[in-house]
Structure 1
Amino acid sequence: MPLTPFHLAFPVDDLDAARAFYGGLLGCPEGRSSAQWIDFDLFGHQIVTHLKPSKQKDQTHHNPVDGHDVPVPHFGVVLQMEQWEALSERLKAANVSFVIEPYIRFKGETGEQATMFFLDPAGNALEFKAFADMGQLFAR
């Protein structure tokens, strides 16, 4: 069953940096925009970066998952494994600083997945993951 695209809006403190990061580095096509926001196509999902100037970035909370401190809140996309691997290599080549380096989580267990976490220029935490078996997406 195909997944329904989602819409997510979140704050950024610099639209030019958001455009370079989401449009340039991640390769997300740009949709509509104004002086206050930009729509991007994030692997078939609509994300909107809204300008919210801030002198201090919000502090994130972390929860322990599989021996790592997962930043909360965060958002991201579940990709096909080939897309995840290509994005991982592109981010490494661009010297992105990872919050959690790309790795396989829950190896050999139900819900085994490839995952990585990093921050956008505004400090929003992103997770990109993939499953060798997409049937494991909601497995318990």
Structure 2
Amino acid sequence: MSIQSPALSPFHLAFPVHDLAAARQFYGEVLGCAEGRSSDHWIDFDFFGHQIVAHLSDKAEAAQPISNAVDGHEVPVPHFGVVLSMEEWQAMADRLTAMKLAFVIEPYIRFKGQPGEQGTLFFRDPSGNAIEMKGFADRSSLFAT
């Protein structure tokens, strides 16, 4: 069963970071996310209309990165991200490439010419949290099989 709302509801994600100043710089300046409320222990960010919260934790670096093989790439698990239009995705891919961000998986097009064609790229924030950005020319194909 799939529950769909007429308007997309923003999600909320809280995740650990080992350095709030580095998180503020990365999410604010590198990704361009507006900052919301904050304290000495957490920062809210507007992540493309969704609320993400970076929580300071001395255990943030303890997790060992794992991955899963997908299309010949080692996709980091867990990860979170956002689905953009193809134009927005390409602009972000160009921006991150120009900033010389280290990609886990460099920007490329999956399922080219097939249902669900999408741009994808993966990178990590300064605390090692994996992030994926996808771009769709046709968002109605998000769940295409």
Give the TM-score normalised by structure 2. 0.92
Give a deviation string over 1:107-134, Cα, whole Å, max 9, x none: 1222111000000000000000011111
CA 1:8–1:55 in 2, change beyond 3 Å: closer, same or farther? Answer: closer
- Which residue in the other structure is 2:96 paired with? 91
CA 1:19–1:111 in 2, change beyond 3 Å: closer, same or farther? Answer: same
Runs (4+) of structure 1 moved beyond 4 Å? none
- For 1:77 and 1:55, the matched residues in 2 are separated by 22
Number of residue equivalences: 140
Cα drift, residue 54 of structure 1: 3.5
- For 1:72 and 1:91, the matched residues in 2 are separated by 21
Give the TM-score normalised by structure 1. 0.95
- Which residue in the other structure is 1:33 paired with? 38
- For 1:48 and 1:90, the matched residues in 2 are separated by 23
Give a deviation string over 1:26-68, Cα, whole Å, max 9, x none: 0000000000000000010000000002484421211111111
Matches within 5 A, 1:8-23: 8-23=13-28
CA 1:55–1:114 in 2, change beyond 3 Å: closer, same or farther? Answer: closer
Show structure 2 runs of 5+ residues with no match: 1-5
| Root mean square deviation, CA, Å | 1.3
Equivalent residue in structure 2 for 1:77, among 78, 82, 87:
82
Show structure 1 runs of 5+ residues with no match: none
- 1:103 is aligned with what amino acid? Y
The percentage of counterpart residues that share the same residue type is: 65
Give a deviation string over 1:79-101, Cα, whole Å, max 9, x none: 11121111111111111000000
8 Å CA contact 1:57, 1:123 repeated in 2: no
